[in-house]
Structure 1
Amino acid sequence: MQKQILPNSTLILVFGIISILGCCCYGLLGMIFGIIALIMAKKATELYNENPELYTGYQNVQIGKILAISGVVLSSLYLIYVIFMFATVGFAGYQDMIEEIGRSGGY
């Protein structure tokens, strides 16, 4: 019997990568894509564990899950930082700080 590719294995990997890249968007996109990737990875792992001899592509699921966990952690840390900054200096202060960094040419 020919092996099938595990459903959504490539999509889990892509969502894991997007979750890491999305942490720069105030943490929201990274959290969304990371959580979706983790849910899909859980379903794919359950399907693979039922009949491992029928499926290939489990490495994509494992790597995507690791990337999604990393993306969720990074996104949550950045989201906490943004909330802290808005609570302490406010939105106008945050924009002033970003403009000052831009004028000085970097960090």
Structure 2
Amino acid sequence: MEQQKLPNVTLIIILSIASIVLCWCYGILGLILSTIALILATLSNKAYKESPEIYSGIGTLKTGKILAIVGLILNILFIAFIIWFVMAIGWDVLQSGDQQLIQERMEEFFGQ
């Protein structure tokens, strides 16, 4: 019997790469994509463990899972950075839209 490709492996790779690329979009979209990729990778891994003789492509699945984990970590770090930045500068200053005030707060905070 010919081996089949693991289900959703290509989709896992695409979602994982997209989560890394989109981590700069406030981290939310990339976080969603990496979570979906991890869930699909877990389901595909479970299918492989149940019957490894039918499926091929476990290396690609592992690569996709690693990329999804990297994307998840990058997105979490970027969200943490945004939260830190808002706390450091101040939400009221950022909402005011006054570029000069924002620059002054950044200079105060970073000591320039």
Q: Same fold (TM over 0.5)?
A: yes
Contact between 1:19 and 1:33, CA under 8 Å: does it hold in 2? yes
Q: Which moved more, 1:35-44 or 1:52-61?
A: 52-61
Paired residue for 2:109?
none
State the TM-score, normalized to the length of structure 1. Answer: 0.82
Give the direction of change, closer, same or farther, for the CA distance of 1:53–1:43 in structure 2 (3 Å limit): same
Give the structure with higher Rg (CA): 2
Report 1:78-97 matches (<5 A): 78-89=78-89, 90=91, 91-92=94-95, 96=99
By how many angstroms is 1:95 displaced? 8.2
Cα distance per residue 1:64-95 (max 9 Å; x no partner)? 10001001101101101101112222334888
Runs of 4+ in 1 over 6 A off after TM superposition: none
Match of 2:52 in 1: 52
Q: Which runs of 5+ in 1 are unaligned?
A: 101-107
Stretches of structure 2 that go unaligned for 5 or more consecutive residues are: 104-112
Matched, 1:4 2:8: no
* CA shift digits 1:19-74 (9 cap, x unpaired): 11111111111111111000000000000011111011222211110001001101
Match of 2:62 in 1: 62
Structure 1 CA distance for aligned equivalents of residues 31 and 99 of structure 2:
26
Show the 5 A alignment for 1:21-36. 21-36=21-36
Q: Identity of paired residues, percent?
A: 40
Tell me the C-alpha RMSD between the 2 structures: 2.2
Aligned partners of 2:12 and 2:95: how far apart in 1?
A: 38
Contact 1:2 1:54 in 2 (8 A): yes
